[in-house]
Amino acid sequence: MIREALKYKLKIDAAFNEQEPLKGVFIAVIHATRIPPHIGIIADEKYHSLSIKGQDINTPVKAIIKNSTLRKIPTLLIKLRSHPVFSDVYLSEHFITNVQQFNRVDIGIATCLSPLKLFFEEVYGIPMNEINYLYELLPLLESKGIIETIYSLNVNQKEYRLPIYTNKEIDTGIEQVRSEFNS
């Protein structure tokens, strides 16, 4: 899978206009240049994710955008095509139940990708048993026609490449954030 990921070029369509409302469902890739990046879902203008601190549910998306803008955090907002059956409100509630399946990000238990894997398997019927990294998820979603548009915030659109990383690097990232969080 890593070989395919190295060939994959994420096409960023435009810089995010902060005046635009985030209508629809998005994958938010925060610290998009970090190994590993952090990911969550924006639906019904609320951000949800699983982190080292625990479940981050119903955070107003404006707070995420403001934080990324002020702190110049490289962020990608990957808009998904409208679901043919479910509303954004339903998808938001469904993703919350996926996040609630886990207490927090922890080595060998769950990563921030874990609730997204449940979400795409349950809502879109896409098998996720072979997906372990964001760089595997995005090409799969694109091949299924699920990605509509990719916006960037504080990301060099021409030079950006999706980071490729290993489980060891995820574990190291978890330990690093945990030590920062506990100090």
Domain residue limits, the chain = 2-182
What is the CATH number assigned to the segment(s) 2-182?
A: 3.90.1720
Question: DSSP letters along 66-83, please?
Answer: HHHHHTT--EEEEEEPPP
pTM of the model: 0.91
Q: Are 112 and 29 in contact (CB under 8 A)?
A: no
- How far is 165 from 2, CA to CA, in rounded Å? 9
Note the pLDDT tens digit of each residue in 81-139: 999 899 999 999 999 999 999 999 999 899 999 999 999 999 999 999 999 999 999 99
Quick one: pLDDT band at residue 3, thresholds 50, 70, 90? very low
Total residues found in the chain within this entry: 183
